[in-house]
Structure 1
Amino acid sequence: MAKFNTIDDMDIDGKIVLTRVDINVPVENGQVTDTTRIDKIVPTIKDIQAKGGIPVLLAHFDRPKGKRVEGMSLKQVVPALEAALEQPVVFAEDCIGGPAKRAVAALEAGQVALLENTRFHEGEEANDPVFAASLAALGGVYINDAFSASHRAHASTEGLAKLLHAAAGRLMEAELLALDAALGDPQRPVMAVVGGAKVSSKLDLLMNLIEKVDHLVIGGGMANTFLVAQGTEVGKSLAERDMAETAVAIMEKAKATGCNIHLPVDIVVAREFKAGAASETLPVGECPADAMILDAGPDTVEALRQAMTACKTLIWNGPLGAFEIEPFDAATNAAAQAAAELTRQGHLVSVAGGGDTVSALNKAGASDDFTFISTAGGAFLEWMEGKELPGVSALEAAKH
């Protein structure tokens, strides 16, 4: 049984359904340049309408810090929202008070409304109970479809769930089910791939994963820090030498918990960090003093592919090398394609997330075959770190 209500559990016929969404999309010159987040909320809105509910969308945009900033108005996303929904969208100039009440009161079955940026009010980020009550007064049911904003205890993500009958939207539901399949109750063995520049920024993540997974692959600049900790020279490579003791502690904890840590066995090095720079592949211990490690080598990828083949579940966060520039995207591309192939064959449940990860998997042409790719960024990372997400906890509490 799910730990939270879904749209299927709710009686919403004829009711105003306050629906928290994440449409914090990139906008240039008043035009939305990437509609991914808007496209992902369409199933929730359509399902609410199919059950007779009238969706009233709550969302934030950018960081106006509790003040009205015209350049951060949600009005500019209305055309993209209308295109995705293939219907007009009523826009209210505020999310509480007269403008919101009048817009909502005039809605009829089949319509949808978007209220102005919740962060134009200080009460949103402060999770102010008076502000939350003002929002709640507008509707009869609350649906949270914004996993990506649910690591914040804000009025529209956490406060509202305590005031109205609450449920998860389709995107939230899919995200939570995918995450549970990856770390909550996964099929074993489980592999986690963690890449990125710095160990210091992913310390909580590594410490949590060591207790949950059977294989931990460390890539990117982080791997260099672990190599330094093992006494391997890395030349001019990016490495946090002051984190060497921490890396040793992580490796010792992994040994104690039976988690296998995978580090590069061969490396791709170059003297300059630019596209098409002259590079060579060397054994891991042979990085020249004047060179830097910019990617893992083919032997490392093959070892990963073999380890992956023996696994049932994969969680991926971060690239294995400097994936933004060729030829240092090779290891990330090859490993991602191997994971995609195993997923396509039904051997692997693969879940990925975090900013660079989505870009890297898209670049590798592997995204479509992963079981689930989270676009949630910070919320996905905090979940991987084992932290409580207030917006999700509020939904789970509403179930009981």
Structure 2
Amino acid sequence: MVQAGSPPPAPAPEPARSLPRLGRRQLVPALAGLVVGALVTVLIFVLARRGDSTASAAGSPADRGTAMCAAVPVAEQVLPAVVTISAQRGAQAGTGSGQVIRQGGYILTNDHVISVAAGGGTVSVQYSDGSTSAATIVGRDPSTDLAVLKAADGAEGFPTIGLGSSADLEVGQPVVALGAPLGLSSTVTSGIVSALDRYVPVPGDGVTHHLVGAIQTDAAINPGNSGGALVDCAGRLVGVNAAIATVPNAVGVGGGGSVGLGFAIPIDLAKPIADQLIATGKPGHPTTGLQVQEIPPAVAKATGAPAGLFVLAAEGPAAKAGLRKGDVITEIDGKPAVSSEQIVVATLTRAAGDTIELRYQRAGTAGDATLTLAAAQ
């Protein structure tokens, strides 16, 4: 059920086929911030110090077959690097979670946790010992739902979180989630990796967040967990909790609590984006130069046009690849072109200089194009 005035998510492109139909369940855009007076979507954004030492990433990966991590040592190691985030602008406010990822007080979180404070609001962080600090927004990437903050006190005396690799994860592997669900700081839950490589589009406040290659987990995450850590049994950050699925209640409105289906942004995607935000304040995703409009199958059938993506404009890289306004893109990297989100996802997972293989039709004649992504201006 759409909660905050956001349109329901469009049919997911092919990576999203891995996102199973939830039957009577709804994807609640785990907008982890408990944002007052603004959040409504099919996905309920669930997920609304000091010192230069680094939390040890020592330890071996979780043993195969181990049902759960030993959560006590993980919590003792990781919680000092986890913060509760409060964002406010005017009458709107929200809370979420984050973790110190770099010395100097740099904190990684979800964009939807702090977006309410963008453009004139305030942000503060609370550490595990209860102390607080003002913070500023270093950079935002609404497309991937990531953001970086900088604590005014530099998070002095608090460790940075150890970083793992999401590429090493296996389905069934135990994990631990840490954050501030419902504003309850320093909360720890555990579970397993339920699935990998999910594509979850999450409608937000005027933007769609694209969780690409998301980690699915049954570790309990709730509103306020957004932006918080998903770690392996060695306490290494492997994902950033971002969204949950919920079950509609009797009147068809999604509930706000965990039903054991949570989604985290993989650290292998999040880290380079965070590094770029720290360096430049911008995510730096490449561009295709394309503007496209989906042609629904019913319209294609009625008009005799091919199903796919109608090219509204082809500039820069698209024009160099030979595409023109009026072309219909029918395949993207060998898969049927069914959603404009496929173009977006392609830019989020690649760098300038990488290529996308496209098949298109122009006046009834098929053609192929290799589009080389360019750096955004």
- Classify the TM-score, shorter chain: under 0.3
State the structure with more CA Rg: 1
TM-score normalised over the length of structure 2: 0.25
TM-score normalised per structure 1: 0.24
Q: Pick the structure with more strand per residue.
A: 2
